Amino acid sequence: MSKKRVTAERLATFSDAVFAVIVTVMVLELRAPDEAALSALWPLWPTAISYAVSYLFIAIIWINHHYLMQFVGAPTLRLIWINFAHLFMVSFLPFATAWIARTTLASSPVFVYAGLFVCVDIAYNFFERDVLAHAAPVPERTRRIARRRSLIVLAIFVIAMLVALVMPRVGFGLICSALILHLKPDIRA
């Protein structure tokens, strides 16, 4: 196995481990109700929704990260630092998820949650751009489509952040709709 593949694999393995820890920390925040009745689950709807959206977001991030890693040759120091910045932003997701769950999707927590999605997406855009800039076999049209999609998602997250100030549930809905655009990372030219 060549040295450059081992280095790229180490970057992917480290990232996978960080994603696993983030999901684990998020799961540890889930608390079962004290009552045995099914009706005791109803007050937990904000927790269930915020957890499901955050879990989906992490899954999307991991899938897109995994997809992009196939284009990485020998990772540059710049790419490694961009990856660390991206993972750092993602690591705040359990905190933001717990806050919006505990406050029943209140305005400020949803604003911060959407703002975190903006930060994660900006870091991802840098990661994607750096990977694709050094990937020879990716057609220019595919790069343009990926870039356009990333900018649209970023714009929706920014709008969600602003809307959350006055209509937090609509802002949260915008976040959910933006995630749909990243469900499939494989963009064919």
- Structure confidence by residue, pLDDT tens digits, 130-184: 888 877 677 778 778 888 888 899 999 999 999 999 999 999 999 999 988 877 7
- Domain residue extents for the chain: 3-28+44-180
- The pTM (predicted TM-score) of the whole model is 0.87
Q: Dihedral of the CA atoms 82, 86, 87, 92 (nearest 10)?
A: 140
- Structure confidence by residue, pLDDT tens digits, 5-24: 558 889 999 999 999 999 99
